[in-house]
A and B are shown apart, each in its own frame.
Chain A
């Protein structure tokens, strides 16, 4: 903190001095500028005491000022470069972490499985999807899973809630049989209430008769 304030002071000083320098070498002008410098220095409370340029010979003072200014600029450039590099490194790390997380999530993603009308048995293609999806959960044991059971819009809301629960339960049981611990899998039925496709045709209904898998990362 202190160091920061010091640098700010130096920069302010350097700027003021450069103003002095550029404005001209006349003593009168320097004195005039002196007032400005003093005023401008006020906010920088921890700036080191600097000998007022007005009481020194002008060329001597100007040389020192130039040196100081150049030093300050070099320091600043170095700091900026370091900061930039650190920022880029952080961004790279962040990107890599996100990519790793995305890859992991992709590895853990189980696509929807589908059912026949009024059925909850797992069809061969559904079993294949679950067999392909299970190993990731066997490897990453800290991840949990919620299986949602859904139905198409046809039939009774209540019966469909039971049917959706059954679909979720059947999928969950299959995953347990594949070795995933039972307490890592929760089930919930949404019956006919959350269709993916609002259409009223077999294509839409087939999409909606599904078990959907939601991955839950470990709670930190």
Chain B
């Protein structure tokens, strides 16, 4: 995160002209549309800003990395470099130096060009997004930093492109926490939205589960058996300092945080069976929300914090229920199938994703928070479990298990464009998406 701050300070906006209009006005990509049109986009190799310098692999590195990041969003069709008509040796990286007709001919709607300059410890990179049809610059940025910041520069500009074309922040400054299990122990890892930079967070050599980011991304709440019992811990993701915060006899599991980061929903078995509680973190004061003899587990707040979705088997099988924030007015949400668990409330507040059993397999579903017919999102023969939303509500991350393999996958909220974020022979599960970490 330090790197990003350093970059942000040195960022220069070249032109805001048409880009500002787009950002505040028209949204070009509607992700809730059942089938949207993928944008044909071309990314040319970057040019040394000083032509006398030769910089080895960097020209292609910039274009390939940016192209890959854009492809990950599922919103772009990347045009093959071999189809480019424009003479790259002659063309410039500004609107004046670009023959837009050559790009219209090959079907591009957008074009990204850029240049860079590396002087020992400093790297400067320029990025420009053009609207090919209009023949004009949409957004241009110049970043400077250390050579090792180059990946961040690309991610940040990819975020700019998403911002300017969709009106919302991208996800290139988010990470996904998940569990990797090997034998009888499991640890928390985090990974970038593009599948790079896998990092091990815990190293307890015991069972550790259920990571839940705080709303500011600073802390991670989770359950670990490191002292023998499943207790709730809180980790400061910057300093690494970890403290045990909930350790009643029996089961202690974290649910979702409040928006102000001051309260945490919990599942505890301290009162004889599994009930849901809201805990104030400062004084550990507990408010009990459910009073039912059955299992109540996996509480998640609505974004407006007026309701809580949770799993209960009070009807005889696990189903999703919704109650008011004070525990009143409990109503059942899911009726189809005999196993519906892992609710995740969409950031927009309208949808709830969950996993349900279909023909002996677990699949990801979305249902309207007000009730109605569920929409099945995943259809493969693996078990797809534990969905979590991206902060912009465009994607879901979930775990997939089958054939002795295990993956963390991302799917567009409309059910398209499944991609593998992480795959391994050990079991990967329980993914949870961070908020923006910038």
Contacts and interface: CB of A to CB of B under 8 A. Distances in A.
Interface of A: 118, 154-159, 161-163, 165-166, 169, 186-190, 193-194
User: Interface on chain A toward B: helix, strand, loop, or mixed SS?
Assistant: mixed
Contacts of B229: 188
Interface string B97-129: 000000000000000000000000000000000
Given A159-B318, A161-B230, A166 B274 contact: yes
Contacts of A187: 250
A157 B318 contact: no
Contacts of B317: 118
A118 to B, nearest CB: 7
A192 to B, nearest CB: 10
A19 to B, nearest CB: 62
Contacts of B269: 162, 165, 169, 189
B53 to A, nearest CB: 53
Contact of A156 (B181, B184, B230, B386): B386
Given A159-B311, A166-B274, 9 more contacts: A155-B341, A158-B253, A162-B251, A162-B253, A169-B250, A187-B250, A189-B251, A193-B181, A193-B184
B429 interface: yes
B430 interface: yes
Nearest to B254: A158
B207 A166 contact: no
User: Interface on chain B toward A: helix, strand, loop, or mixed SS?
Assistant: strand
Contacts of B274: 162, 165-166
A169 B269 CA distance: 9
Given A156-B386, A169-B273, A186-B249, A162 B297 contact: yes
A156 B250 CA distance: 19
Nearest to A149: B251
B320 to A, nearest CB: 11
A194 B184 contact: yes
A157 B401 CA distance: 13
Interface residues of B, number: 37
A156 B253 contact: no
9 contacts: A118-B317, A158-B342, A158-B386, A159-B341, A161-B209, A188-B229, A188-B250, A193-B207, A193-B209
B429 A158 contact: no
B230 A158 contact: no
Nearest to B385: A156
B295 A162 contact: yes
Nearest to B404: A200
B390 interface: no
Interface in B71-117: none
B434 interface: no
B339 A118 contact: yes
A159 B362 contact: no
Nearest to B430: A157
B56 interface: no
B248 to A, nearest CB: 12
Contacts of A166: 273-274, 295
A189 B298 CA distance: 16
A186 B209 CA distance: 21
A118 B318 contact: yes
Contact of B230 (A155, A163, A189, A194): A189
A197 B267 CA distance: 28
Interface centre among A157, A187, A194 (most CB of B within 10 A): A157
A112 to B, nearest CB: 17
Nearest to B339: A155
B298 A193 contact: no
B230 to A, nearest CB: 7
Interface string B364-384: 000000000000000000010
B334 interface: no
Nearest to A187: B250
B272 interface: yes
B210 interface: yes
B63 interface: no
B160 interface: no
Contacts of B272: 169
B278 interface: no
A156 B298 contact: yes
B186 interface: yes
A159 B251 CA distance: 11
Contacts of A169: 250, 269, 272-273
Contacts of A162: 251, 253, 267, 269, 274, 295-297
Interface string B264-275: 000101001110
A188 B206 CA distance: 14
Contacts of B273: 166, 169
Given A165-B269, A166-B273, A193-B207, A159 B250 contact: no
B355 interface: yes
Interface in B162-209: 181, 184, 186, 207, 209
B250 A165 contact: yes
A154 B402 CA distance: 12
Contact of A157 (B184, B250, B313, B386): B386
Contacts of A155: 318, 339, 341, 357, 362
